[in-house]
Structure 1
Amino acid sequence: MIRQWLLRWAIPKTLTLVRRYRPFSSSSSGGGVVMKRVTRANFESALEGLRARVQGADFVAIDLEMTGVTSAPWRECFEFDRADVRYLKVKDSAEKFAVVQIGVCPFRWDPSRGSFLAYPHNFFIFPRKELPFDGPSHEFLCQTTSMNFLAKYQFDFNTCIHEGISYLSRVQEAEALNKLSSAYENELTNSINTSGENLEIPIVSTADLLFTERIKNKFHEWRNRITESSCAECYVKEKTEHVMTQFQTIFFKMRPAVTLNGFNSHQMKLIQLVLRKHFKDLVFIHAQGEEVMLERKVVYTDSEEDKALLMREVLEDLHRSKEARVRSAVGFRHVIDFLVSEQKLIVGHNCLLDIAHVYSKFFGPLPSSMMEFALSIHENFPNIVDTKHLLNSSYVLQYLMKKNSKSLSSAFSLLCPEASSDSPKSAHSYVKFEVQTDETGLSNWTSGAKHEAGL
């Protein structure tokens, strides 16, 4: 009886620390809770669904699973650590270990049901190289106790590595855009057919001499066919005469062109030298094809103005392709960006390390000082509630939890006995929630254990 009274007295006082408090009331059946499992395969669709859930949410809970916590015994956090010392320890951990799973769960209060509706999403993430110039492969530490913990609760390492969603931080995205821009501009510069140049073709061997003469003759024949007849007639004639596939006429930007296939890099250089020396109206370009790789084409232009216009059009295409490619590589950070833009209340449990990982993985290198870190986090996430801090702020709850256990599972057993398998179902539940699923089928939904990131 005294225990029940203490709970009724302590819980409202604790919850009033949350600015947008609405009384928890509720229902939850025992057993596993269904959550949405998100990998690379269904990330785009899940992201769109999550946007709507977050926009209508009263608060969003987050949780991370990592490959380790401390890189050395002396880097463990202790109660007597100064705030700046503890931050440096957390910074070291966030920089050295990887995040393999992130749970994002929007909660919405439904007055008609008298409960919170939860929409748990469990994202597998893995830092793979998505861009060709993304620097060396990612490296991170693994702590045996953490890996054993994940394995104990059936963490799917294969799904994480093979299907985990990659990501770029804001700093990495900016660097990638700059590198892509420089790379494409260099390609375009090299591909421009500068009519003022009169370069000698370096003849390395007899094979090179024969190749350049053959290519020169082929381009002469191809250009003559284009200028002496309509492009359509030329295209039909080539199809009828079975002209070699390396010189079939196509249309690029409403201009006659050929796609160069089957040539090695040395031959490509010889082709460019032939064009520069003998063909002022033929332009060698790198154009975005249907696949990720660039296609090499030779395009006919009828004037210097037309040539300049063509190069501008190619540059615009490559710029759009560049942005789309980087956007795809940004990956899971789109979720973080959306949470930042919505400015929702973020709820976590003992989440300082989680927030440090979010900063390190999705914003950029962690600041050297605690104050700079705190200011940046407050700017991006102005409203954060740590449930462990709430538990520590209530002496009554500490007493009821025996003071030696501040884990989320212990709080769950105390506050949600009906939903906890460790407590009798006859106990009264003070917190009620209902987990919602969509209609996309059960293949993307899985029953989660209490520790999983999605919960």
Structure 2
Amino acid sequence: MEVTRKNFQEALPLVGASIHKADFLVIDAEFTGLINGRDVTIFDSPQEYYTTLLNGSTDFLLIQYGLSAFCWDEAKKQYTNESYNFYLFPRGRPGPEKMFLCQSSSLDFLSAQGFDFNKLIKEGISYMTEPTETRLRENLTDRQSRSSDKESIMIPEENRSQIEGICKKVREFLDDATAQEMEIDRCNAFIRRLLFQELGTRFKTEAFVESKVLENKNRVLKVTKLKSATDVKDLDTQRKEKEWEEFNEAVGFSHVARMISQSRKLVVGHNMLLDVLHTLNHFFQPLPADYASFKEFTHCMFPRLLDTKYMSSLPPFKDKVNSTVLHHLLATLAEAPFSLPMAESEEGRGYKRADEKLHEAGYDAYITGLCFLAMHAHLARMRGEHCHRVSFMNSLLLKPFINKLFLAKTANQDSPYMNLAGADPTPSRDHVFHLKFPKEWQRNDINQLFSSYGQITVQFLDETSALVGLTRRDLAKTVARAFANSSRITLVPYLKYKALTNKTANPLERREETSEKFAKLCVVLTIVILSVFIYQVLKLLFPDDTVTAEY
């Protein structure tokens, strides 16, 4: 089911009902970009992985969100899917304006997949974080409670003729029995404020004045005739209700994200770390810089997460799956020894495999759910069970995969996942070095340099540096000694390189170090000045050259 701002309010109860009755939920998201600046290196720890994504990904916009609710049909003994594809766009007013980055390659890719950017901007559903919602809610409540107590503004002389001219036109409108409302356009915010004041004072019992936003986003004043004093209260109530409707529309998709969180149900995704980061950052609260706080925050909001990318990278799937790219994984799981389940849907409420809408967030969420069910069924068969329904009563099947998010870039270097509910893997990096080399060198030159020490893994950082990992870890000390005095290259152990990099990159540490140096300099200068002062005093008190010389 496609959901835009036009049908969001109508669809919201359906989404809530789907979440309520689902056994598990599947999410997927599309963004305006993936990484800005330095990318993750293949030797990063989970904490470094998070820090890099936090600094390089959170300024991109989340523009499409897929939610697929898998509900058990007891009569048919199979799952049905109720899936939703949401277009998202934070449009400001009454919410805050949002600045964001976009990556040309990401937009080009989405365009090639048929993504409708016009629909995104015109019909995208707004959203905001919880702190922003709380602040705007309090502001609106406060403004409505004191709307009648605003202090009068003196009309500047240069604006008086314009205000008087508009008031005269309103008077003519009120005396005209044929028209019931009029619009006042071509006014800036200050003139509108003056008109609210003057029209409200002069025509309090005859007209009701309110602000109106046209389709072209221009703002005008709307003046409506009143028949009685009761109309004033009714229209004022309607205005306030409309302001709350606009506010709730601005909160928008955040309602859905919070319903998912409050359900406490299993949430499945494929390679879902970025999906989780953006979900938390855009709909809940800005992500914390502290990694431990991030893990605690994530686990609190989503206590059960499962990443099918991680699940498919482990036995018994690892040796049978050639590619864990989502549509490749789907194709593999459709063949023996696996089998894909049936997961039908009501017309217009979900997807079927034949739709083949790859990279549409709703469809990707749906096929991720199919992959999860296929792998779950395969694990059950291996244990001699015939379990088609996902149940946490039989948690042994899923326990190895719960709350572990796949880290694609480091998966082959012993850091395959981030553990949200426990300790992360802490592999040794004693076999890894930071290498600086001449600019003219190519990959073959580096391979030749280490040819005596077996195969190596290389990740280039720039034109003159790279990270090098030895396959023969036992030769790490030998390599370090062999190149210790080289004149052409510099080889630094990975841990030492990271310590130097982190110290340089951390502005707080640099400021503290500068402050410490400045403090020491001040002490030295103070001692020097005091010494000179004491010398001068002694010279005055004891003009004898011997005393002065001794000092």
Q: Smaller-chain TM-score range?
A: 0.5 to 0.7
Compared CA separation, residues 94 and 399, structure 1 to 2 (3 A): same
The 1:320–1:69 alpha-carbon spacing in structure 2 relative to 1, beyond 3 Å, is same
Q: What displacement does 1:117 show? A: 1.3
| 1:199-238 matches, cutoff 5 A | none
Asked if 1:106 corresponds to 2:69, the answer is yes
Distance across 2 between alignment mates of 1:181 and 1:398: 56
Instruction: Say whether residues 1:434 and 2:346 are aligned partners.
Output: no
User: In the alignment, which residue of structure 1 is the partner of 2:102?
Assistant: 141
Contact 2:29–2:65 (CA<8 Å) still a contact in 1? yes
In 2, Cα distance between the equivalents of 1:205 and 1:104? 53
Which amino acid is 2:244 matched to?
A: E
- In structure 2, the residue corresponding to 1:431 is in which secondary structure? coil
Counterpart AA for 2:40: E
CA distance in 2, matches of 1:40, 1:446: 27
Where does residue 245 of structure 1 map in the other structure? 173
1:105-148 Cα distance to aligned partner (Å, 9 max, x none)? 0012224333221222211222222x15x44453222241x233
1:399 to 300, 311, 319: 319
Decide whether aligned partners of structure 1 residues 287 and 435 sit closer, same or farther in structure 2, where only a CA change above 3 A counts: same
Question: Is the Cα–Cα contact under 8 Å of residues 177 and 322 in structure 1 kept in the other structure?
Answer: no
Q: Secondary structure at the match of 2:339?
A: coil
Letter in 2 for 1:75: D
Query: Partner residue of 1:332?
Result: 253
Could you say which residue in structure 1 is the equivalent of 2:22? 57
Task: Report deviation, 1:363.
Answer: 1.0
- Alpha-carbon distance in 2 for matches of 1:451, 1:316: 45
Q: Which residue of 2 aligns with 1:362?
A: 283
Residue 297 of structure 2: SS of its match in structure 1?
helix
Distance 1:318 1:441, change over 3 A: same
Distance 1:353 1:294 in 2: 44
**Using a 3 Å threshold, how does the CA distance of structure 1 residues 202 and 248 change in structure 2: closer, same or farther?**
same
Alpha-carbon distance in 2 for matches of 1:77, 1:107: 36
Within the candidate set 400, 412, 417, 2:330 is matched to 412
Which whole-Å CA distance do the structure 1 matches of 2:360 and 2:160 have between them? 67
Aligned to 2:372: none
Report what 1:66 is aligned to. 31
Matched with 2:445 is: none
Identity %: 25
Does the residue aligned with 2:355 lie in a helix, a strand or coil? strand
1:226 maps to none
The answer to whether the aligner puts 1:47 opposite 2:7 as a matched pair is: no
**Residues 287, 386 of structure 1: alpha-carbon distance in 2 compared, 3 angstrom cutoff:** same
Q: Which amino acid aligns with 1:322?
A: E
Tell me the alpha carbon deviations over residues 397-435 of structure 1, each in whole angstroms, 9 at most, x when there is no partner.
212224xx3322332222223xxxxxxxxx565230323
In the other structure, the counterpart of 1:6 is none
| Alignment-mate amino acid for residue 407 of structure 1 | V
* Offset at residue 395 of structure 1 (A): 2.9
Match of 1:76 in 2: 40
One-letter identity of the residue aligned with 1:410: H
Q: Secondary structure at the match of 1:361?
A: helix
Write the distance in 2 (CA, Å) between the matches of 1:156 and 1:390.
32
1:157-306 matches, within 5 Å, as 157-181=117-141, 183-184=143-144, 187-190=147-150, 244-247=172-175, 269=194, 295=222
Secondary structure in 1 matching 2:310: helix
Q: Which has the higher contact order (CA 8 A, sep 6+)?
A: 1
Query: SS where residue 120 of structure 1 aligns?
Result: strand
Contact 1:366 1:373 in 2 (8 A): yes
Distance 1:91 1:143 in 2: 20
Correspondence 1:305-344 to 2 at 5 A: 319-344=240-265
| SS of alignment partner, residue 395 of structure 1 | coil
**Structure-2 separation of matches of 1:300 and 1:191:** 27
After TM superposition, the structure 1 stretch with the greater mean CA deviation from structure 2, 135-144 or 47-56, is: 135-144
Partner SS, residue 27 of structure 2: strand
Counterpart of 1:399, as a letter, is D
Q: 1:183 to 1:285 in 2, by over 3 A?
A: farther
Q: Is the 8 A contact 1:64 1:354 kept in 2?
A: yes
1:1-39 Cα distance to aligned partner (Å, 9 max, x none): xxxxxxxxxxxxxxxxxxxxxxxxxxxxxxxxxxx2222
SS in 2 for 1:398: coil
Cα RMSD, aligned residues only: 4.4
Does structure 2 retain, via aligned residues, the 8 Å contact 1:67–1:141? Answer: yes
**CA distance in 1: counterparts of 2:236 and 2:244, whole angstroms:** 12
1:66/1:97 contact within 8 Å kept: yes
| 1:151 positional shift | 2.8
Distance 1:76 1:50 in 2: 36
TM-score when scaled to structure 1?
0.63
Residues 430 and 211 of structure 1, relative CA distance in 2, 3 Å threshold: closer
Give the Å deviation of 1:259: 7.6
Q: Is the 8 A contact 2:63 2:89 kept in 1?
A: yes
Q: Structure 1 residue 349: deviation in Å? A: 1.2
Check conservation: 2:312, 2:321, Cα contact below 8 A. Answer: no
For the residue of structure 2 that corresponds to 1:119, the secondary structure is: strand
How far 1:182 moved relative to its partner? 5.2
Distance 1:372 1:317, change over 3 A: farther
* Runs of 5+ consecutive residues of structure 1 not aligned to the other structure: 1-35, 193-198, 220-243, 251-257, 418-426
Q: Distance in 2 between matches of 1:201 and 1:98?
A: 43
Indicate the structure (1 or 2) with the bigger Cα radius of gyration. 2
1:353 paired residue number? 274
> Is the contact between residue 69 and residue 143 of structure 1 (CA under 8 Å) also seen in structure 2?
no
* Inter-CA distance 89–324: structure 2 relative to 1 (3 Å threshold): same
Amino acid at match of 2:268: V
SS at match of 1:320: helix
The CA deviation at 1:60 is: 0.6
Tell me how far 1:290 sits from its aligned partner.
11
User: Which structure 2 residue ranges, 5 or more long, are not aligned?
Assistant: 365-551
The alpha carbon displacement at 1:286 in A equals 5.0
Query: Structure 1 pair 97/77, CA: closer, same or farther in 2 (3 Å)?
Result: farther
Q: Residue 371 of structure 1: CA displacement?
A: 1.7
Between the aligned partners of 1:267 and 1:100, the Cα distance in structure 2 is 34
Provide the rounded CA distance (Å) in 1 between the counterparts of 2:211 and 2:155. Answer: 28
* Alignment counterpart, residue 116 of structure 1, candidates 50, 74, 79: 79
CA 1:77 to 1:356, structure 2 compared with 1: closer, same or farther past 3 Å? farther
Q: How many equivalent residue pairs? A: 354
